[in-house]
Structure 1
Amino acid sequence: MSTSNENDFGVCAILEKNAVQRTSIELFTLKDRVAVITGGQGGLGLEMALAYAQAGTAVYCIDLAAQPSDQFKHVQKFIHDSPALVIGREKSTQSLKGRLEYVSCDVTKQENIWNTVRQIADKEGRLDICVASAGVLKGADVLEYPAADFQKVMDVNVNGALFTAQAAGRAMVKHNSRGSIILLAGMAGNIANKDMHTTAFNASKAAVIQMARSIASELGSKGIRCNALSPGYVYTEMTKEFLHDNPNMEKEWRSQNPLNRIAKPQELQGMALFLASDASSFCTGSNMLVDGGDTAW
């Protein structure tokens, strides 16, 4: 099933039909779409899940815990209790009302994540969006980095991203969906973070960026897009804990980008919506940096 019609908006639609079926702002809506997000019960995963649900998507948040966190339940209730958002023109409006669901699964187990995503897509009859945002960070001096810690980072950040993208791609092909796969990479995949002992994490994010390009190249003929989303420093629970233990680093992080600040989690919502929606229909194989200009210096 196609999620976009290139002839129902824009200048050509006006010239050919003297009318448009959609306005440009409607390109960013996700009415009746279905999404899966790994690492979705907190952090940036939950932030993106909120954005998609508010745009009209049924979002399945996949995480390791058997039961969702209180934070997830609170956001889930907020979405459930919120009125539908109405957008559009007088005679052609969309009522956007999404929802959040929780599913427990280990992304490092290929067969498990394949089956989980397949069951979700079969239940909903489609799959349009996949975000692989499950990740871990284990820091250590490069000369002392334990093999087990290095492998753990690779298992979750690299293998987990691949297995999730595979699961989504298989479901999208099965249900004839011209979907969007988004791999959460990071600024760390483009540069070596100053004064940070995170060799494994940096290597894993560089791998994810290249993985997105490769997946995009293979699945483009099936109408499936794949892009990497690379945030800079963001105030997540993980970074808050790090800054609490290393109070001098916040000033250093701020000084490393032209905006002289650290991003708020909600500042990733716009890019996440763009990559998931018809607004990015010709965007694939890209690495979208949202880093406050950190990598510009």
Structure 2
Amino acid sequence: MQGSAGLETGTRVGRQTDIFDEFSLKGRVAVVSGGHRGLGLEMALALSEQGARPNADFKAVSQHVAALGEDRSLKYVSIDVTNQPAVWSRVEEIGDKEGRMDVCVAAAGILGGQPCLEYEAQEFEKIISVNTNGVFYTAQAAGRQMVRFGNGGSIILIASMSGSITNRGHDWVGYNTSKSAVLQMARSMACELGPQRIRVNSLSPGHIRTKMTSALLDIEPELGAKWANSNPLGRLGRPEELRGVVSWLSSDASTFCTGSE
């Protein structure tokens, strides 16, 4: 190859795998919180197609996963992500059964809001409890198992563009605050867990049409056009359009990516 001398640094001579092998999750175990609908379910399906065995609600996709082969399974475990001891215990049970833990996608989240000066403590705390605390407890639980088995791993925290920008016209100070916290959580955990070969990154979707956002759009249909017009593509995103980035972050194709948003 012409110019190959300039590619010596960082090039793996005599590599034994190709790019498709690097994306494979065959034989690996993944936990996906919030996997019973929307983005979480789509991400669980994507990881299954790559060969992983994630835990999520599989009612809508179990037949498809079963057709992928006997080496793959999709299981549902009901956990309150705001209950730290319960999350730790159930994820440990998964580790006991599977003998490893490789990937965690912390996607459980809720949407809601009130005018900032009238925001009731109970509602604000509910948003923070699920969107921030729940994400942290899930990441903790998976990370503990990754350290236990010593194989490293990848933790993906689902934040939102709302953690970096303000949604004008929406009284979402609680939601925006919860997602902003997730961004810093990912960076902080990445620095702590790097020596254990555990990577932690965050993912911030834009306006995606899911069951959660559709509930709002059904009440305020004009929001669909408003959100679409704020996007360079002029439309809302689809859950399946996040499959690629989650698949990449979960696999060996992204082994030098951590602490990134």
Scaled by the length of structure 1, what TM-score is found?
A: 0.82
Counterpart position of 2:5: none
C-alpha distance in structure 2 between counterparts of 1:83 and 1:160, whole Å: 31
Q: Deviations over 1:14-51 (max 9, x none)?
A: xx43xx42111321111111000111111110000000
Q: Where does 1:28-67 land on structure 2 (aligned, <5 Å)? A: 28-61=23-56
- CA-to-partner distance for each residue in 1:59-114, whole Å, 9 max, x for gaps? 112xxxxxx5xxx313112211x244xxxxxxxxxxx9522001111111111000
Task: Count matched residues.
Answer: 253
Task: Using the TM superposition, give the Cα deviation of residue 117 of structure 1 relative to its aligned residue in structure 2, in angstroms.
Answer: 0.6
- Which aligned pairs between 1:1-297 and structure 2 lie closer than 5 A? 12-13=11-12, 16-17=13-14, 20-61=15-56, 72-80=58-66, 82-84=67-69, 97-287=71-261
Identity of aligned residues (%): 48
Letter in 1 for 2:52: T
For structure 2, the 5+ residue unaligned runs are: 1-8
Superposed CA deviations along residues 184-233 of structure 1, whole A, max 9, x for unmatched, are: 00000000012111110000000000000000010001110000110000
User: How far apart, CA to CA, are the structure 2 residues paired with 1:98 and 1:44?
Assistant: 20
User: Which amino acid counterpart does residue 52 of structure 1 have in structure 2?
Assistant: L
**One-letter code of the match for 1:75?**
V
User: Is the contact made by 2:49 and 2:68 (CA closer than 8 Å) also made in structure 1?
Assistant: no
TM-score normalised by the chain length of structure 2: 0.93
- For structure 1, which runs of at least 5 residues remain unmatched after alignment? 1-9, 62-67, 85-95, 288-297
Higher strand residue share: 1
Q: Which runs of 4+ in 1 moved over 6 A?
A: none
| Superposition RMSD in Å | 1.5
Q: Report the secondary structure of 1:122's partner residue.
A: helix
Separation in structure 2 between the aligned mates of residue 40 and residue 98 of structure 1, nearest angstrom: 16
Corresponding residue number in structure 2 for 1:89: none
Partner SS state of residue 74, structure 1? coil
One-letter identity of the residue aligned with 1:49: A
Code of the residue aligned with 1:38 in structure 2: it is S
Give, in whole Å, the separation in 1 of the partners of 2:172 and 2:219.
Answer: 16
What amino acid is aligned across from residue 222 of structure 2 in structure 1?
N
The 3-state SS of whatever aligns with 1:99 is coil
